[in-house]
Structure 1
Amino acid sequence: MHDPYNAFTLGGDVYIDGARQGPLAGLTFAAKDVFDVAGYVTGAGNPDWRRLAEPARQTAWAVSALLESGARLVGKTHTDELTRGIFGDNSHYGTPENPRAPGHVPGGSSSGSAVAVAGGLADMALGTDTAGSTRVPASFCGVFGLRPTLGVVPMDGVLGQSNTFDTVGLLAADPDVLARMGEVLLRKKVADQRPARAVVLEDTLEAADPEVAAVIEAALPRIAEAVAPVTRGVRISPVPLSDWIEPQNAIQGREAWETFGDWINRSNPRFGFEVADNFLRGSRVANRTLSAARGFRLRARRWVLDALEGHAVLVLPTTPVTAPPVQSPRSVMWDIRSRIISLTAIAGMAGCPQISLPLCNVNGRPVGLSLIGPRGGDSLLLAAARRIGKA
């Protein structure tokens, strides 16, 4: 396998031809190493998980759907350990190299999938998204990335961590390819539909680095031309966006511990520092804290749905920063992680679809502009991306 960017896993040389005919015939795809492929071990970014796992008996629904539509699987891609990261680094297998921002992290946990697409090693790729694991690498690597409506794409055969946040993620360098992939996985045609307006979330611009906010502002005329008239002056939240971080971390962390805690206690696996820290924090989330976080999520969902009323989409930076340099201090990365989650939690809390569009860059490094749509509005976002690609 030609892999100059370390996108694919060791033993990730999984080549499976798709059906001879279908809407994706002639296209290639990669799959994050949390998607089961019958006869192969799902490694999940951790050597102890790989060592103890049995080969999968069945292939994940999403992988099968792409194969049956004619696409060819060309490999399994790197992920942060058990998907518990957001920068794409892995202390066991190394960090995939960001083709669009050399020397900077690719974003995670669907790091290898985004890198495979950005580096031209696959036409499209499957990832997952819990707190931004598809949207963040899409932003950092300068590709299109969709987090679908929660539950709309089956997670059968996918190793998740937090069942009230986990979704399959879609990545592609070309918006038409992403739309065709979406039609297969959503089981729905992408019609050329438009929202009534595109609502700029002012508090998300304030949360971003000034240079990121500036390039998002500069891209708004393109949104107005290709998507919908732009409306200004809307704030998504009556509380600071920083207040969204703790509820997101509490629910996700506790659910991830409930998913993996027994295995961790039984197997005492080797983890990188940040992954171990995330699991420990999750194990210590008290029931009272969890209940309060879930109450916050109900309020946050209403704020988002109110902002989307009248057939709107929401406009925001995908990430508040461009990709940080590889080997940045952990204290710096922890602060950046929290700032990222303050933006990615918006769609996640509401269960809404979000698409990251590679429209902007700062000093040569990509940063995504995102659209959030109403639940079930995935096709609306894919149609918008398609029009932007043609503009």
Structure 2
Amino acid sequence: MHDPYNAFTLGGDVYIDGTGDGPLAGLTFAAKDVFDIAGYVTGAGNPDWRRLAEPARATAWAVTRLLESGARLVGKTHTDELTRGIFGDNSHYGTPENPRAPGHVPGGSSSGSAVAVAGGLANLALGTDTAGSTRVPASFCGVWGLRPTLGAIPMEGVIGQSGTFDTVGLLADSADHLARMGEVLLRKKPPTQRPDRAVVLEDALEASDPAVADAIEAALPLIADAVAPVKRGTHFSQVPLAEWVEPQNAIQGHEAWETFGDWINRSNPRFGFEVADNLLRGARVSKTSLSAARGFRLRARRWVQEALDGHAVLVLPTTPVTAPPVHSPRSVMWEIRSRIISLTSIAAMAGVPQISLPLCQVEGRPLGLSLIGPRGGDGLLLAAARRIAAAL
């Protein structure tokens, strides 16, 4: 495949035809290079992992499900190393080029998957989402993306990092394609009922750049028409959203070190600076910090559930910023990373689904508007996306 955006991995030229005339027949998909394909090495964005890994013995459940539904696999896509990043850069393989915002990062860690869709190289793509790794690139690249309810789609045959937060992520070039993909992987049809109200999270708007907040405000009439009556004035969190970052990082970092620490100790692999820093921070999380973070997560889940009570969906920017320029200083990116996680941790902490809709632009760059639904409400969000797309 011609790949002008560096979306696909070296050695990622995996082509497998779908079977039969299922609901995804005629569509193509790409898979993040953490999904096993039988007979191929899963590289996970790190050359030492790829060098030491054996070819997969079986194909990941989600890949198999898409193939059996008629979609054709067209390749494996780049990821941040071991999925431990949020901007899409990779010190070994380079940064996939953002087709919708040239010169700006694509977002990660499902960077190649989002770029493949945004660049017209695939209709659908599989990613993963732990702290935003599907939602962030969906926002930055201007595509449709879903983080499902935690546990709704099996992670079988997928390299994850944090069992508390890891989900399969879905990316697509249209609302209809995303919904069809979701129906296949979630194994259920979207409901016909609509939410009772769309609750704007004022906390999230206040934590975002003013231009981002303005873009979301401008899209609210569309949400009111296509989704549900818009309710304003809700500050759902009992602490500033910036204070959600440390608990998210503590749990995720600790579990990532539990996942990869033994391999790192044995193999002494090469990592980019930021990935190495993230892994080492996770190794040093104290029992006290971890206990406090898990207690915070329980409270955060309750706050989200209370805001969703009564068949509501929540409205917020997917990211508080648009895609920053490639090669921005690390110190600048660290601050942006924390601001992003302050929003993406809402659904991650609660284990609920979130859909990113490519409805907004700021200075010509894409920006996702997100809807968060109740646990198990994935179909509710996919149906809302279809109605929004029909109204555009």
Q: TM-score, normalised by structure 2?
A: 0.99
Please give the root-mean-square deviation of Cα atoms over the aligned residues, in Å: 0.4
Quick one: which amino acid aligns to residue 122 of structure 2?
A
What is the CA–CA distance in structure 2 between the aligned matches of 1:152 and 1:69, rounded to whole Å? Answer: 18
**Structure 1: which 5+ runs fail to align?**
none
What is the CA–CA distance in structure 1 between the aligned matches of 2:201 and 2:170, rounded to whole Å? Answer: 24
Task: Give, in angstroms, the shift of residue 193 of structure 1.
Answer: 2.6
Instruction: Describe the superposition over 1:278-319 as per-residue Cα deviations: whole angstroms up to 9, x where unpaired.
Output: 000000000111000000000000000000000000000000
Matched with 1:281 is: 281
What is the CA–CA distance in structure 2 between the aligned matches of 1:126 and 1:24, rounded to whole Å? Answer: 14
Matched with 2:75 is: 75
What is the CA–CA distance in structure 2 between the aligned matches of 1:353 and 1:332, rounded to whole Å? Answer: 29
Task: Give, in angstroms, the shift of residue 191 of structure 1.
Answer: 3.1
Quick one: which amino acid aligns to residue 315 of structure 1?
V
Instruction: Describe the superposition over 1:238-272 as per-residue Cα deviations: whole angstroms up to 9, x where unpaired.
Output: 11001100000000000000000000011010000
What is the CA–CA distance in structure 2 between the aligned matches of 1:276 and 1:362, rounded to whole Å? Answer: 32
Instruction: Describe the superposition over 1:344-365 as per-residue Cα deviations: whole angstroms up to 9, x where unpaired.
Output: 0000000000000000000100
Alignment of 1:169-184 (within 5 A): 169-184=169-184
Matched with 2:125 is: 125
Quick one: which amino acid aligns to residue 104 of structure 2?
H
Matched with 1:85 is: 85
Number of residues paired by the alignment?
A: 391
Instruction: Describe the superposition over 1:114-134 as per-residue Cα deviations: whole angstroms up to 9, x where unpaired.
Output: 000000000000000000000
Q: Are 1:236 and 2:240 counterparts? A: no
Deviation beyond 2 Å, 4+ runs, structure 1 = none
Alignment of 1:96-245 (within 5 A): 96-245=96-245
Matched with 1:311 is: 311
Q: For 1:106, what is the secondary structure of its paired residue? A: coil
Matched with 1:371 is: 371
Matched with 1:344 is: 344
Matched with 1:295 is: 295
Deviates more, 1:109-118 or 1:235-244: 235-244
Task: Give, in angstroms, the shift of residue 190 of structure 1.
Answer: 1.8
Task: Give, in angstroms, the shift of residue 197 of structure 1.
Answer: 0.2
Quick one: which amino acid aligns to residue 149 of structure 1?
T
Quick one: which amino acid aligns to residue 28 of structure 2?
T
Task: Give, in angstroms, the shift of residue 173 of structure 1.
Answer: 1.4
Deviates more, 1:7-16 or 1:186-195: 186-195
Instruction: Describe the superposition over 1:89-145 as per-residue Cα deviations: whole angstroms up to 9, x where unpaired.
Output: 000000000000000000000000000000000000000000000000000000010
What fraction of aligned residue pairs are identical, expressed as a percent?
Answer: 85
What is the CA–CA distance in structure 2 between the aligned matches of 1:233 and 1:273, rounded to whole Å? Answer: 41
Matched with 1:263 is: 263
What is the CA–CA distance in structure 2 between the aligned matches of 1:383 and 1:136, rounded to whole Å? Answer: 21
What is the CA–CA distance in structure 1 between the aligned matches of 2:257 and 2:61, rounded to whole Å? Answer: 25
What is the CA–CA distance in structure 2 between the aligned matches of 1:288 and 1:102, rounded to whole Å? Answer: 44
Alignment of 1:16-95 (within 5 A): 16-95=16-95
Quick one: which amino acid aligns to residue 381 of structure 1?
L
Q: For 1:74, what is the secondary structure of its paired residue? A: strand
Q: TM-score, normalised by structure 1?
A: 1.00
Quick one: which amino acid aligns to residue 233 of structure 2?
G
**Structure 2: which 5+ runs fail to align?**
none
